[in-house]
């Protein structure tokens, strides 16, 4: 029986950022499939199997010439469609093609569809209202994490851990004292937390100062986590000077932003984690963007050790059942949606095989 992957494939994942393709091909495994990304004809991004049909060398070790991907071993040229184009002194146009993947460049990311190419609909790429808006600034990065993608979703949909893992930056006891509320709207899961009249933790003190606001007064704080398939989590976060309606406070008394999380499976137990923060205050301030990015990068790095250790423990004790508490509601509901999508994909595959 073939291995059933724990992640949907008929969907769009963030594969890389355009700067990663600036001067050479990029090899990256996504959903257990080795893929090479490169800029082909007219600078358009292409994605094909990272496998040269001549001798099996990784095409990612080659280079791009005149819109073709050239194998770094013997010079076989591959087109964006996965077909062999030419090779010095050889006749190769009859060589079998390698797989080409649907790929789109949008919102500052390169998106890949690893499933059935006939079902790849670019309109299904999520709209990011902040991505191409001059009133917003974005800064982010990429981490490779040795844990399965659903563990990271669990982590982001339950921010109780901030009190402990991020005690020096965004954590505070008031987080675990505020009960979360989880709702499901179709394929979207929303977990919300609102805290009133509390001190601002160090990260948010700095954000208040960045907005020209006092950082030593009580604040109302909010965290609104939104999961959408296959593995995207965007979190509205912020603080406002207390007594101004919290989340709905006017802009002049609050610091708010969107934590952006795109989680792309590499293998069953490893991920590419694209993280960042979008904000709509002082978008022109590049120094502030860099400072926030540095602070956020340190915060997310604190998660990695815990998640990787958690993954090792789960692999060591696969028979153990984990407890589910009320704080786990967001992750539980997200997993239910993922399980449904996986079941639907398998049913479609079986129906196609018997048609």
Specify the 3-state DSSP secondary structure of 198: strand
Report the chain's mean pLDDT, rounded to a whole number.
Answer: 88
> What structural domains and CATH numbers belong to the chain?
13-124 (2.102.10.10), 137-344 (3.90.380.10)
Strand pairing class (232-241; 254-267): antiparallel
Confidence of residue 298 (pLDDT cuts 50, 70, 90): confident
pLDDT in tens, 186-206: 999 999 989 899 989 888 888
Question: pTM for the full model?
Answer: 0.91
Q: Of 329, 320, 263, 283, whose CA–CA distance to 6 is shortest? A: 263
Confidence of residue 175 (pLDDT cuts 50, 70, 90): low
Question: Which residues are CB-contacts of 59 (< 8 A; sequence separation ≥ 6)?
Answer: 25, 27, 36, 48, 49, 50, 51, 52, 69, 71, 72, 78
The b/e string for 134-173 (b: 16+ C-beta within 10 A; e otherwise) is eebbbbbeeeebebbbbbbbbbbbbbbbbbebbeebbbbe
Res 89: pLDDT: 65
Q: Is residue 80's pLDDT more than 60?
A: yes
Please answer whether residues 175 and 195 qualify as being in contact, where contact means their C-beta atoms are separated by less than 8 angstroms: yes
Cα end-to-end distance, the chain, whole Å: 20
Measured distance CA(135)–CA(257) in Å, rounded: 12
pLDDT (mean) for 241-259: 92
Question: Which residues are CB-contacts of 39 (< 8 A; sequence separation ≥ 6)?
Answer: 21, 45, 46, 64, 67
Res 47: pLDDT: 97
Between 315 and 83, residue with greater pLDDT? 315
Measured distance CA(348)–CA(114) in Å, rounded: 16
pLDDT in tens, 20-64: 998 899 999 999 999 999 999 888 999 999 999 888 899 999 999
Please answer whether residues 30 and 15 qualify as being in contact, where contact means their C-beta atoms are separated by less than 8 angstroms: yes
Measured distance CA(284)–CA(136) in Å, rounded: 8
């Amino acid at each position: 029986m073939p291995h059933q992957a724990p992640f949907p494939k008929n969907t769009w994942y963030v594969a890389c950022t355009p700067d990663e393709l600036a001067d050479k091909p990029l090899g990256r495994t996504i959903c257990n499939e080795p893929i090479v990304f490169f800029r082909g004809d007219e600078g358009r991004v292409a994605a094909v199997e990272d496998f040269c049909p001549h001798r099996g060398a990784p095409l990612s070790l080659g280079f791009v010439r005149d819109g073709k991907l050239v194998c770094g071993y013997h010079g076989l040229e591959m087109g964006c469609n996965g077909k062999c184009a030419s090779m010095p002194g050889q006749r190769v146009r009859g060589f079998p093609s390698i797989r080409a993947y649907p790929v789109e460049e949008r919102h500052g990311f390169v998106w890949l569809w690893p499933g059935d190419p006939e079902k790849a609909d670019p309109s299904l790429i999520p709209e990011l209202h902040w991505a191409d808006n001059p009133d917003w600034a974005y800064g982010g990065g990429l981490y490779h994490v040795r844990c399965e993608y659903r563990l990271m979703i669990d982590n982001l949909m339950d921010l109780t851990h901030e009190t402990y893992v991020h005690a020096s930056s965004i954590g505070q006891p008031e987080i675990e004292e505020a009960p979360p509320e989880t709702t499901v709207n179709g394929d979207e899961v929303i977990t919300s937390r609102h805290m009133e009249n509390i001190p601002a933790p160090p990260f948010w003190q700095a954000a208040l100062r960045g907005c020209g606001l006092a950082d030593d007064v009580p604040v109302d704080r909010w965290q609104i986590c939104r999961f959408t398939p296959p593995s995207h989590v965007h979190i509205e976060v912020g603080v406002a000077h207390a007594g101004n309606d919290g989340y709905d406070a006017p802009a002049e008394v609050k610091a708010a932003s969107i934590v952006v999380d795109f989680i792309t499976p590499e293998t069953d137990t490893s991920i590419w984690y694209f993280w960042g923060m979008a904000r709509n205050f002082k978008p022109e301030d590049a120094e502030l963007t860099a400072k926030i990015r540095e602070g956020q990068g340190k915060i997310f790095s604190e998660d990695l050790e815990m998640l990787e250790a958690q993954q090792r423990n789960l692999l060591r004790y696969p028979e153990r059942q984990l407890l589910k508490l009320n704080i786990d509601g967001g992750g539980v509901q997200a997993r239910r949606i993922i399980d449904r999508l996986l079941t639907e994909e398998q049913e479609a595959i079986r129906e196609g095989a018997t048609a």
